[in-house]
Structures are given as structure tokens and as C-alpha cells.
């Protein structure tokens, strides 16, 4: 892939400052970029790299004012980071391998229609009653259970498992090792304390444009459905329990876990290792810092952190106080000794 700065600017709705015919063939971080590469500056703290970078062209904000001469061609855009994502998508079209057809060693049950552009890799298993949209890609050793529906342009990577009856929308990505539709964690103790399984007869329903990270698990519902709404992005090693609902465009970082029957709103952001208790409701737009523990429902728009989670500002102040505890205890000890000394002074 070789593109001129002018071509890139036109694609992104930007303008060129410098050589419009400067040609790039790859993307790189600003501090590592060399000749023939395109880089970007989205965070001002990295601005110093633009004066020494070897990049041929750099994406910058429209209002960027360099303090020193810049040798690279500048492509001015509204949002360099978003534009970089657009270019990475374009680059992926050139760099990712494209597979079609059914490879030797794949199993496709009788009666399953494989539409145009689909790919089913060696060792993959597609069970009876499966419905596939156009251009679905099922990589080697993936398992698609009975009656599963997968929408057009969805990719299921190697070793991923989709249990029976689950529904996956269009343009989704299910990464390697992910499991969609395993049984929810339902057991009931008898009078002797022995646990007996509660059968999980629901499904998982995943809407369009969802990404499920590697080794992430989304459990099927006890009854009804576990629902992942449009545009949700789940990182690797995330656990979504039975009957959970996750709203549109919510994102969760690695090792986040949501317990059963909890409802998560739209546009939420969860950091790594966030844990949510079951049967609670998280409002739209809630942001939870890494390792937050959430035992109760949270109203829309809150920013919280800690265990149990509190307002982000309160958490920050608490951490600041904790750092001063040793000094505070020392001061209290000093004052206590001073008081004891004063008590020994005879009263006039």
C-alpha cells in the first residue's frame, strides 16, 4: 500500500501542509517512525517527538502550532486519533489474508447453506440448522452449535465456540478461544448442602457490530436471553454471566466481570478487573475505574472507582489521605506524648 499525503488528506477530509506528493507505505508510532511512514500526534505530551521524527507525514490537529521547524509533511485533521483508526481499517484491507470456501477437514452439516464469500477453515464444525450470512468467516477449529444464527460479515476466529441456539449479528468479531453460550452458573443446594444444577435453557443474543475478545465468555440465560447490544466491545478475558444485559456502545477492559441478571446501560466504560454484583442496574454513561467493585446500582453518568466503588473524586482524596497516614499517626503520637507531659505539670 502506497498513498500520497494528498490522497490521505482527501480521504480524511483534511489539508496538507508540506509536500502533497510525499508517499507513505506504512504506519508507525511517532517516536519509532522512519522514512516512508505515516504517524500522528493526538496527545500534546508527545509533541516534542514531531521535531525529531523520521516520519514522512504526520497527522495533527487542524489548530496545531509547531514551536520549532518540522521536516515531516503535516496532514491537518479534526481528530488525529479517530483518523488513524480509519487508516488502520484501510490498511487492514491490504494486509489481512482473505479466505473463502470450505477447506478440507471442515465439517458442515447437511442442509446448511454456505453463502457467497464465506470461509470455513480446516477442523471447524458447523452443526445442523446453522444459518450463515454472506462473507461469514469461521476459522479452523471453531465450533458452531445446532441452530446458531450468524449475520453477514461476521468473523469467528480459531478455537472459538458458539453453543446451540445462540444468535450473532452482522459485522461481529469473535476472537480466538471465546465461548458464547456456555451454561450460566446456576446451582441450588439441597438440605444436605449438596449442589444440584439448574438447567440453563435460554440463549445468548449478540447484536450487530460487537467485538468479543479472546477467551472472553458470555453465558447463556437460565431462561430468556443474555443480551449484548449493538456496538459493544469486550476485551480479552471478560466474563458476562447469565441473563446480563449490556447496552449499546459499552466497552469493558480485560478481566471485567458482570454477575448474573445485572443490567448495564449504553455508553458505559469499565476499566480492567472491574467487578459487578448480580441483580443491579448500571445507568447509561457510567465510567468505572480499574479494579472497581460495585455491589449496588449506579445512576446514569456517574464516574466511580474503588472497592466498594465511590465517586472518583472521593476515591482520589482518600488515596491522598492514605499516603499521609504514617505522618498523621506520628503527629498524633507526638501530641499524645505532649499531653501526657502537660498532665504531669503541677497545677497553679
Res 22 pLDDT > 80: yes
Mean pLDDT, all residues of the chain:
94
pLDDT at 147: 98
pLDDT digits (tens, 9 = 90+) for 259-275: 999 999 999 999 999 99
Q: What is this structure's pTM?
A: 0.84
pLDDT of the residue at 263: 98
> Average pLDDT, stretch 61-87?
93
The residue with cell 484491507 is 93
Mean pLDDT of 6-11: 94
Over residues 47-65, mean pLDDT: 94
Q: Residue 41: is its pLDDT beyond 90?
A: yes
Q: Which residues, listed in sequence order, are joined to residue 291 by a DSSP beta bridge?
A: none
Is residue 347 scored above 80 in pLDDT?
no
Q: Which residues are catalytic?
A: 242
Per-residue pLDDT tens digits for 280-322: 999 999 999 999 999 999 999 999 999 999 888 898 888 888 8
Predicted pLDDT at 182:
98
Give mean pLDDT, residues 118-145: 98
Q: Euclidean distance between the first and final Cα of the chain, in Å? A: 94
| Among the listed residues 193, 207, 229, 91, the one whose alpha carbon sits nearest the alpha carbon of residue 149 | 207
From CA 331, how far away is CA 318, in angstroms rounded?
A: 19
Task: Give the Cα separation of 249 and 267 in Å (integer).
Answer: 5
Given a contact cutoff of 8 angstroms between Cβ atoms, the answer to whether 264 and 276 are in contact is yes
pLDDT for res 279: 97
User: Is the per-residue pLDDT at 129 higher than 90?
Assistant: yes
Burial class (CB in 10 A: 0-12, 13-18, 19+), 72: buried
pLDDT of residue 141: 98
pLDDT value of position 94? 74
- pLDDT for residue 348: 64
Amino acid at each position: 500500500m502506497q498513498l500520497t499525503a494528498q490522497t490521505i488528506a482527501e480521504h480524511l477530509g483534511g489539508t496538507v501542509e508540506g509536500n502533497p506528493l510525499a508517499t507513505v507505505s506504512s504506519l508507525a508510532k511517532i517516536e519509532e517512525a522512519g522514512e516512508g511512514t505515516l504517524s500522528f500526534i493526538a496527545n500534546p505530551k508527545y509533541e516534542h517527538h514531531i521535531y525529531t521524527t523520521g516520519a514522512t507525514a504526520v497527522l495533527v490537529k487542524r489548530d496545531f502550532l509547531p514551536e520549532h521547524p518540522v521536516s515531516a509533511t503535516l496532514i491537518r485533521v479534526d481528530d488525529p486519533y479517530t483518523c488513524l483508526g480509519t487508516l488502520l481499517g484501510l490498511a487492514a484491507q491490504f494486509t489481512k489474508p482473505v479466505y473463502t470456501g470450505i477447506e478440507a477437514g471442515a465439517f458442515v452439516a447437511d442442509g446448511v447453506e454456505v453463502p457467497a464469500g464465506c470461509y470455513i477453515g480446516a477442523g471447524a464444525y458447523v452443526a445442523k440448522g446453522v444459518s450463515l450470512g454472506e462473507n461469514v468467516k469461521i476459522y479452523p477449529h471453531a465450533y458452531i452449535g445446532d441452530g446458531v444464527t450468524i449475520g453477514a460479515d461476521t468473523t469467528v476466529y480459531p478455537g472459538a465456540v458458539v453453543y446451540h441456539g445462540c444468535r450473532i449479528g452482522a459485522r461481529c468479531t469473535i476472537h480466538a478461544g471465546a465461548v458464547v453460550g456456555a451454561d450460566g452458573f446456576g446451582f441450588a443446594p439441597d438440605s444436605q448442602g449438596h449442589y444440584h444444577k439448574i438447567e440453563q435453557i435460554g440463549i445468548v443474543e449478540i447484536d450487530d457490530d460487537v467485538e468479543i475478545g479472546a477467551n472472553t465468555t458470555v453465558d447463556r440465560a437460565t431462561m430468556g436471553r443474555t443480551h449484548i447490544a449493538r456496538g459493544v466491545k469486550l476485551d480479552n478475558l471478560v466474563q458476562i454471566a447469565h441473563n446480563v444485559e449490556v447496552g449499546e456502545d459499552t466497552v469493558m477492559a480485560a478481566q471485567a466481570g458482570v454477575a448474573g441478571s445485572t443490567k448495564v446501560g449504553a455508553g458505559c466504560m469499565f476499566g480492567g478487573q472491574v467487578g459487578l454484583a448480580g441483580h443491579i442496574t448500571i445507568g447509561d454513561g457510567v465510567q468505572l475505574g480499574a479494579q472497581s467493585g460495585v455491589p449496588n446500582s449506579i445512576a446514569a453518568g456517574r464516574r466511580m472507582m474503588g472497592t466498594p466503588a465511590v465517586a472518583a473524586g472521593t476515591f482520589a482524596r482518600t488515596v491522598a489521605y492514605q499516603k499521609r497516614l504514617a505522618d498523621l499517626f506520628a503527629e498524633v503520637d507526638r501530641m499524645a506524648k505532649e499531653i501526657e507531659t502537660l498532665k504531669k505539670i503541677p497545677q497553679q
